[in-house]
Amino acid sequence: MLELRIGHLYPRELNLYGDRGNLLALADRVRRRGGRVTVLPLEPGDPLRMSEIDLVFIGGGQDREQRWIAEDLARGKARELAAAVRDGMPLLAVCGGYQLLGRYYRTVSGEKIPGVGLFDLWTEAGSRRLIGNVAIESDLWEEGDRTLVGFENHAGRTWLGPSVRPLGRVLRGHGNNDRDGSEGVRWLNAIGTYLHGSLLPKNPRLGDWLILAAWRRKYGIDRLEPLDDRWEEIAHRAALRRLGAAAVQPTCSRDRRGAW
């Protein structure tokens, strides 16, 4: 039986905005394929046993929680996490977790919270929060619908360094910094993003992309059984419709990549 072991980093501290939904969606997709899911909650102070984990999820939190977590990550975990990602481990980090995995996060009060440095990016808090429904176009896969939908709510403006690519291009909403049209980050199989809502339920292709990355690494398989995603697609399309983003839904060419 195929198994997916998810390491959930700081489920108590980083658990805003329905982050739980991402795990529920992953579990649902694995179970509907007859597989088994184990979620390993990792609290501050717990050792990271990367060999027991196939995929890492880290959610969002408030500034206060982030400061607390940054200290815990700095105690050796950051290095282990980076090594695993370099080895192909899929990772999804949302909102606060995304910011923490960058080089630093400067809060509204000017305090600089050191990040993990897993992603080549940094975040500076702005005065106005960026809030609302979002649609982006991602280049994680080539065929078919490449839109991702979600909700964003962040004060931080994130800027990407030269060694990483954005997760996608903003169709509607603010994205990383409300300036350069980029949203999120991708480095190898690790993804960081401001999209919650939750993200994975309404973007089943992204859920499968993560599961496949984990199972390719673990079992060497290179395709997943398709599922009846009627409700997922209805909800995804409804989100695009509400945003008026269906009209700009892409048939975008690949050469525009990297131009962000």
Partner 1 sequence: MSAARSSLRFAVAWRLVVALERLARLAGHGGSSLPGLWGQRLDPRLLEELAGTLEKGSAVVTGTNGKTTTATLLAEIGRRSGLRLAHNAAGANLISGLVTALAGQRAEGADQFAVLEVDEATVARAMPALRPRLIVVTNFFRDQLDRYGELLGAVGRVAEGITAVPETALLLNADDPHVASLARPDREVHAFALEVAGGAARKPGGDAILCPRCGRPLRYRSVTFAHLGDYACPGCGFRRPSPEVVGQVLRNGRETALRIRAGGQELADLARFQLPGLYNAYNAVAAAAAAWLLGWPAQAISRALSEATPVFGRMERFEADGHPVRLALVKNPAGFDAVLETLAGEGEPGALVLAINDLDADGHDISWLWDVRFEDHLALLARSRPLLASGLRAEDMALRLAIAGADRERIELEPDPERALDGALRRLPRGRPVTVCLTYTALLDLHRRLARRYPVAAFWERGARRGA
H or E segment at 28?
Answer: helix 20-32
**Cβ atoms of 166 and 160 closer than 8 Å:** yes
Residue in 5, 80, 106, 133 binding partner 1, rule: CB under 8 A: 133
Distances (CA, A) of 171 to 101, 150, 184, 253: 25, 12, 13, 15
Q: Pick from 178, 234, 244, 256: which binds partner 1 (CB under 8 A)? A: 234
User: What is the rounded CA–CA span in Å between residue 36 and residue 158?
Assistant: 36
Residues 95, 154, 174, 236: which is the catalytic one? 95
Q: Binder to partner 1 among 228, 247, 253, 254 (CB under 8 A)?
A: 228
Among 97, 115, 184, 197, binds partner 1 (CB under 8 A): 197
Residue 18 binds to partner 1 (criterion: CB under 8 A):
yes
Q: What angle do CA 95, 165, 57 make, to 5 degrees?
A: 35
Counting contacts by CB under 8 A, is residue 24 touching partner 1? yes
**Residues 207, 209, 210, 214, CA torsion sign:** positive
Is residue 65 a contact residue for partner 1 (CB under 8 A)? yes
Give the binding range for partner 1 (CB under 8 A) out of 83-91, 111-119, 124-132, 137-145: 124-132
Residue 39 sits in the site that holds partner 1 (CB under 8 A):
no
How many angstroms separate the CA atoms of 104 and 24, rounded? 30
The amino acid sitting at 75 is R
**Which of 135, 114, 134 has the alpha carbon at shortest distance from 69?**
114
76 near partner 1, judged by CB under 8 A: no
- When asked if residue 156 is in the footprint of partner 1 (CB under 8 A), the reply is no
In this chain, which stretch among 20-28, 114-122, 136-144, 218-226 interacts with partner 1, using CB under 8 A?
A: 20-28
- Rounded to whole angstroms, the Cα distance separating 184 from 98 reads 8
Alpha-carbon torsion (23, 31, 223, 85), positive or negative: positive
Site membership for partner 1, residue 235 (CB under 8 A): yes
Q: For the CB of residue 203, give the shortest distance to partner 1 in the complex, in Å.
A: 11
Shortest distance in whole angstroms from residue 153 CB to partner 1: 6
Q: How far is the CB of 24 from partner 1 (least distance, A)?
A: 5
Q: Are 125 and 53 in contact (CB under 8 A)?
A: no
Which stretch in 34-42, 64-72, 182-190, 212-220 sits in contact with partner 1 by CB under 8 A?
A: 64-72
- Contact 147/249 with Cβ under 8 angstroms? yes
Tell me, rounded to whole angstroms, the distance of Cα 193 from its chain centroid: 5
Is 196 one of the catalytic residues? yes
Has 154 been annotated as catalytic? no
Chain contacts with partner 1 (rule: CB under 8 A): 11-13, 15-21, 24-25, 28, 44, 62-65, 67-68, 129, 131-133, 151, 153, 155, 196-198, 201-202, 228, 230-232, 234-235, 237-239
Catalytic site positions? 95, 196
